[in-house]
Amino acid sequence: MVYSVTSKKRGNYYKCLGLYSKDPQKRAQAIAALKGNQASPSPLSQETGAFSTPTFAPKIPSGTEEELTKLKKKVMEQELTINKLEDKLASAEARHELQLEKVRLQVRDEMKDKISDAYKEGYQMCKDNLLDLRKFQAANGL
């Protein structure tokens, strides 16, 4: 069954051609059929089942090895710089956390002192009010 490309079943059309096939040979044939070429041979060698080296791969000029080593050195230097910056960031974060913890402890201690002072004041006020009440009761014979 062949579907037109413009139909709603476009995915099925490509499926019928073999574009989604797991077999590389069928997939290569489907791609070639879409391009209008004849079926191309599979990149897998039939005897070994291993990938063959493509013929279109460019050859690397000899001067590029030196450039490649220079680029590798640059990458290594940049990675080292990144690692140093990450270490600095981690130490800065640790210092910041330490400062935050110190501030938290200081605020907690201040709040404890304020609560303790307020409790003592309230206790003293209650004691004074109780004494005043007893004096009032004694004076009025209650």
31: pLDDT confidence band, cut at 50, 70 and 90?
Answer: confident
Number of domain units in the chain? 1
Query: Is residue 14 in a domain?
Result: yes
Query: Is residue 99 in a domain?
Result: no
Helices (H), ranges, 10-63: 10-17, 24-35
Query: Is residue 30 in a domain?
Result: yes
Q: Which domain holds residue 5?
A: 1-43
The 8-class DSSP code of residue 47 comes to T
93: pLDDT confidence band, cut at 50, 70 and 90?
Answer: very high
Q: Is the pLDDT at 3 greater than 50, yes or no?
A: no
Retrieve residue 99's tokens: 């400062």
Query: Is residue 104 in a domain?
Result: no
- Give residue 32's pLDDT: 76
111: pLDDT confidence band, cut at 50, 70 and 90?
Answer: very high
